[in-house]
């Protein structure tokens, strides 16, 4: 677990004064509902008990100084002149969020920030959304700004679009802002409403990081998204008032799928079926039917691998190993794909055997060392330390 005293002391050492606030925002794992969020569809993530922490202290000027413990690097920018950095990507998450707050006419003053995280980066657990949301929330705390969790999530997503260049959906930022301990959230990405569903006590959620960092993730991601939007334009004359693939049903696809070019049909088939699976999975988990939930996860992986084509060999291997390991109800790749992690639903009593089988199997099949994480659903963004001084 992350020690608050460590980040407090690191801040004091670096900036010469103690922080006045420390905020945290969690990473996430998505149980099912992949590549549906930017199609106005459904997702079913849970927040992790791992998070990004921001220790902060306001300044009297308009300068923001940021030190990243992970990158051992400092950034400094002026709130009145925020530009994208073309060399260092990590600084753009912070700059983008500050710019987004200012664009909403919210008054900001300068700040010293120190950032640390125990969300592994690049493993598909949304360390970047955790960073954006934690930074946004920190500025809120330092400037007495009140934003709803949904607004904070939208602002963080905007930073990723305009400053980082990935046209991501809203899932990662929303769960980082609104996660609930012990629960996964079924989120409707059209109106951002959500339903918390408890994780049954008899199961564990296990994340296995393939060790492969998202290859080509940004460009492939943006291409898939553009493909979905193109499919909506093609289907609209036949289906009437559709705004997004969320509005297309399997029955519509059976009737009008022939209108789509061959490269778009499988994309649409994935999104349409994944939305249906996600709703069914949330009902199954709510009813404690973990066998059904597991089956839907398996189908989701097949669809991502064969139709949406965002899996890679190492993720497929992890899923195969999981399905052969003790106590596993279901397993699938999680997150955007092209690297990153799988998520498996495992019988609680067998979780140690499951973990041991995964480590051994992955070493034999790939020569790589696996460090499975047995995850508990954590809470969304919060302030974890506030000093007496302002």
Q: Please give the residue ranges that form the binding site for ligand GLA (CB under 6 A).
A: 34-35, 37-38, 126, 168-169, 171-172, 335-336
How many Cα atoms sit within 13 Å of 304 on the Cβ side? 32
User: Which is nearest to 324 in space by CA: 357, 290, 300, 373?
Assistant: 357
Instruction: State the minimum distance, in angstroms, from the CB of residue 110 to ligand GLA.
Output: 30
**How far, in Å, CA of 190 to CA of 9, rounded?**
42
Residues tagged active-site? 172
DSSP assigned state of 199: P
Among residues 35 and 277, whose Cβ is nearest to ligand GLA? Answer: 35
Among residues 124 and 294, whose Cβ is nearest to ligand GLA? Answer: 124
Measured CA to CA in angstroms, residue 388 lies from 17, 20, 21, 54 at distances of: 14, 8, 10, 18
Instruction: State the minimum distance, in angstroms, from the CB of residue 336 to ligand GLA.
Output: 3
Let me know: does 55 contact 39? Beta carbons within 8 Å. no
3-class secondary-structure state, position 40: coil
Among residues 172 and 180, whose Cβ is nearest to ligand GLA? Answer: 172
DSSP labels, 60-81: SSSEEEEEETTTTEEEEEETTB
Instruction: State the minimum distance, in angstroms, from the CB of residue 169 to ligand GLA.
Output: 3
Q: At what angle do helices 265-286 and 217-239 cross, to 10 degrees?
A: 90
Instruction: State the minimum distance, in angstroms, from the CB of residue 374 to ligand GLA.
Output: 21
Instruction: State the minimum distance, in angstroms, from the CB of residue 337 to ligand GLA.
Output: 7
User: Which is nearest to 159 in space by CA: 87, 97, 222, 86?
Assistant: 97
């Amino acid at each position: 677990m992350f020690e608050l005293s460590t980040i407090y002391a690191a801040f004091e050492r670096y900036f010469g004064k103690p922080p006045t606030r420390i905020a945290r925002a969690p990473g996430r794992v998505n149980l099912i509902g992949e590549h549906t969020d930017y199609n106005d569809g459904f997702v079913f993530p849970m927040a992790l008990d791992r998070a990004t922490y921001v220790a902060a202290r306001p300044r009297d000027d308009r300068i923001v100084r940021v030190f990243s413990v992970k990158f051992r690097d400092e950034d400094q920018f002026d709130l009145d002149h925020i530009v994208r950095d073309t060399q260092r990507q990590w600084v753009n998450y912070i700059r983008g969020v500050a710019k987004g707050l200012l664009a909403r006419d919210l008054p900001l003053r300068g700040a010293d920030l120190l950032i640390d995280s125990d969300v592994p980066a690049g493993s598909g657990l949304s360390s970047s959304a955790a960073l954006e949301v934690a930074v946004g929330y920190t500025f809120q705390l330092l400037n007495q700004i009140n934003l709803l969790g949904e607004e904070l999530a939208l602002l963080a997503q905007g930073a990723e679009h305009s400053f980082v260049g990935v046209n991501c959906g809203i899932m990662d930022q929303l769960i980082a802002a609104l996660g609930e301990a012990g629960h996964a959230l079924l989120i409707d990405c059209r109106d951002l409403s959500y339903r918390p569903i408890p994780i049954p006590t008899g199961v564990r959620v296990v994340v296995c990081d393939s060790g492969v960092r998202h290859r080509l993730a940004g460009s492939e991601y943006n291409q898939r998204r553009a493909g979905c939007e193109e499919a909506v334009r093609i289907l609209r004359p036949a289906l009437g008032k559709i705004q997004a693939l969320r509005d297309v049903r399997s029955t519509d696809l059976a009737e009008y799928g022939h209108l789509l070019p061959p490269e778009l049909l499988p994309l649409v088939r994935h999104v349409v079926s994944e939305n249906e699976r996600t709703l069914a999975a949330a009902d199954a988990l709510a009813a404690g039917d973990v066998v059904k939930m597991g089956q839907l996860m398996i189908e989701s992986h097949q669809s991502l691998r064969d139709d949406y084509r965002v899996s890679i060999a190492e993720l497929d291997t992890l899923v195969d190993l999981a399905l052969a390991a003790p106590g596993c109800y279901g397993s699938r790749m999680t997150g955007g794909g092209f690297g990153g992690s799988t998520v498996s639903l495992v019988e609680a009593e067998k979780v140690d055997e499951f973990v041991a089988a995964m480590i051994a199997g992955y070493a034999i099949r790939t020569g790589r060392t696996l460090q499975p994480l047995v995850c508990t659903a954590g809470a969304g963004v919060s302030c974890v330390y506030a000093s007496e001084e302002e």
